[in-house]
Structure 1
Amino acid sequence: MQLTLLPQPDGLTIRVDEKRLDAAIATAFKDRVRSMIAGGGAQVTLDLGGVEFMDSSGLGAVIAIYKAMPAGRRLTLTGLTPNVERVFQLTRMDTVLTIRKTAETTETRQKKPER
């Protein structure tokens, strides 16, 4: 399973570099992300921009990560592809979880033109 940890000033971003988040990897994904967020800051961003397909097991893993967040810490999902976004909309989890269109990482902050 391919995950990239990107430290941020206010926490961390975890980029999921898998095309599918399904039953085959959901448990390992959940366990690995939980261990990655254990030492992070207040904000955890899960960048799902590389995920083209998510089934109910993948959705369950994301929800389990959300429920396991320690008090005072926030989970934000970013970069949802249309198919993955549809899963969150159909299950109405888009009303429970914080979802942004794009991830604002240190990398993208540095690339923005100055005004």
Structure 2
Amino acid sequence: MNLTVTTGADYAVIRPEGRVTATTVPQLRKAVDELVGGGSPRIVVDLGGTEFIDSSGLGALIGGLKAARLAGGDLRIAATPESVRKVLRLTNLDRVLRDHPTPETAFDGD
């Protein structure tokens, strides 16, 4: 998995590309922890390049959501491919992690 982090004025974007699995999740957790710890608790995870996510990847997203909210921010997902959306629906996490069309629209209206 490749991971890029872009920090903007209002929010940061994390873009994992490839498979988000138990072996790659530490990278995602570290990126979220660094952003929250660095004072950027408003995070969008752009899943557009994510081919697959397993339970540990879902756990990392929920853990990141919790950390961001405890720091006064939020974690949102965007551009979720259908394969990942299916996993979110099957686990009912689509009710907790609402998908946004693009990273730019994730914090619209806030």
TM, length-normalised to structure 1: 0.78
Please state how far the C-alpha of 1:42 moved relative to its aligned partner: 5.1
Residues 77 and 98 in structure 1, CA contact (< 8 A), matched pair in contact too: yes
CA distance in 2, matches of 1:23, 1:9: 31
What is the percent sequence identity of the aligned residues? 39
Structure 1 stretches of 4+ with a deviation exceeding 6 A read: none
Aligned residue identity for 1:31: K
* Residues matched between the structures, number: 104
Unaligned runs of 5+ in 2: 106-110
CA distance in 1, matches of 2:14, 2:46: 6
Unaligned runs of 5+ in 1: 106-115
TM, length-normalised to structure 2: 0.81
Residues 77 and 98 in structure 2, CA contact (< 8 A), matched pair in contact too: yes
What RMSD over aligned residues (CA atoms) do the two structures have, in Å?
Answer: 1.9
Residues 36 and 67 in structure 2, CA contact (< 8 A), matched pair in contact too: no
Greater Cα shift, 43-52 or 33-42: 33-42
Q: 1:87 maps to which residue? A: 87
